[in-house]
Amino acid sequence: MNYSFLLVPIVSALLAQIIKMIINAIKGKFSWGDLNSYGGMPSSHAALVISLAAMVGYFEGWNSSIFALTIILALIVIRDAGGFRRVLGYHAEELNNIIHTLNPTEGYKYAHLNEIIGHTPLQLFAGALLGIVVTIAYILIF
- Segment 113-130, tens digit of pLDDT: 777 777 889 999 999 999
Single-letter code of the amino acid located at 72: I
Q: Kindly report the average pLDDT of the chain as a whole number.
A: 89
pLDDT in tens, 13-59: 999 999 999 998 999 888 887 778 788 899 999 999 999 999 999 99
pTM of the model: 0.86
Q: Which amino acid is at 31?
A: S
CA atoms within 13 A on the CB side of 88: 14
CB atoms within 10 A of CB 49: 26
Confidence of residue 95 (pLDDT cuts 50, 70, 90): confident
